[in-house]
């Protein structure tokens, strides 16, 4: 992965694309050495436009505010860190980062603003565009802006695109026939049941079903999917 400027990773939900992969990257000495080697080869480094890196700085985009916040909280818990120090997030009207932040979660809109102020993203060495299948105007803009930045940086900036479902062939062709990797997660058996109810009652029935399972089923977790934030 460290040899390629562009990498596409697909994997099952729960395989660790959003939480484990970033930790491997910032802890990887091999990735850091490869980027330092590239820095010594490019003209921007010789003219002092790019400073030598001391530690990898990585940014991960998320399509939703809540996802960025919850991912940062999860990594702080796993690594026993204080939010806003090594790990942080930036969303609209809320910035939990500092000069010590090495791994940052941001929303797509916030990162588009960063690309406008710093087109070549000299603050970062690795960019992860997460949940790429959730296409939006911001994500489509980022696909082009970051490609331009990676090509200009000549190997000192890496782009990783992650998704559970993605047309990998089309994206690979766009990013110079980059490699496509697949991560495997742990899958559990799922039983699907359909209830013939009116659409106006689906929220009430979902709540009743969750309470019924909580009271009468064995230990475990309950996940309810709703169509929007208002219903949640």
pLDDT in tens, 75-115: 898 888 888 888 899 988 888 888 888 899 999 989 999 99
From 94, 80, 31, 88, select the one nearest 60 (Cα to Cα).
88
| Residue numbers of the domain that contains 213 | 188-232
pLDDT in tens, 164-180: 777 788 888 888 888 88
- pTM of the predicted structure, to 2 decimals: 0.76
Query: Which tokens is 219 given?
Result: 């230990």
Q: How many residues does the chain have?
A: 232
Are both 34 and 141 inside the same structural domain?
yes
Are both 228 and 193 inside the same structural domain?
yes
Whose structure tokens read 């992860």? 128
CA–CA gap between residue 188 and residue 200 (Å, rounded): 31
Query: Is 176 inside a domain boundary?
Result: yes
Are both 204 and 113 inside the same structural domain?
no
List strand residue ranges (DSSP E) for 75-211, in order: 87-91, 94-96, 103-107, 126-129, 158-163, 180-183
Give the β-pairing of 103-107 and 126-129: unpaired
């Amino acid at each position: 992965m460290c040899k390629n400027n562009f990498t596409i990773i697909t994997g099952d939900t729960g395989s660790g694309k959003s939480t484990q992969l970033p930790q491997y990257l910032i802890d990887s000495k091999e990735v850091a050495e490869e980027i330092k080697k590239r820095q010594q080869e490019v003209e921007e480094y010789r003219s002092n436009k790019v400073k030598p890196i001391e530690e990898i700085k990585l940014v991960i985009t998320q399509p939703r505010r809540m996802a960025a916040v919850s991912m940062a909280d999860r990594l702080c818990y796993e690594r026993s860190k204080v939010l806003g120090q090594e790990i942080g997030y930036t969303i609209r009207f809320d910035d939990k980062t500092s000069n010590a932040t090495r791994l940052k979660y941001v929303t797509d809109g916030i990162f588009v603003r960063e690309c406008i102020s710093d087109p070549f993203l000299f603050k970062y060495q690795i960019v992860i565009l997460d949940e790429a299948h959730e296409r939006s105007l911001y994500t489509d803009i980022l696909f082009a802006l970051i490609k331009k930045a990676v090509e200009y940086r000549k190997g000192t900036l890496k782009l990783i695109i992650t998704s559970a479902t993605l047309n990998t062939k089309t994206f690979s062709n766009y990013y110079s026939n980059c490699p496509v990797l697949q991560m495997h997660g742990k899958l559990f058996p799922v039983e699907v049941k359909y209830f013939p109810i009116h659409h106006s009652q689906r929220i009430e029935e979902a709540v009743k079903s969750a309470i019924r399972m909580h009271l009468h089923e064995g230990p475990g977790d309950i996940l309810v999917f709703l169509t929007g934030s208002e219903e949640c």
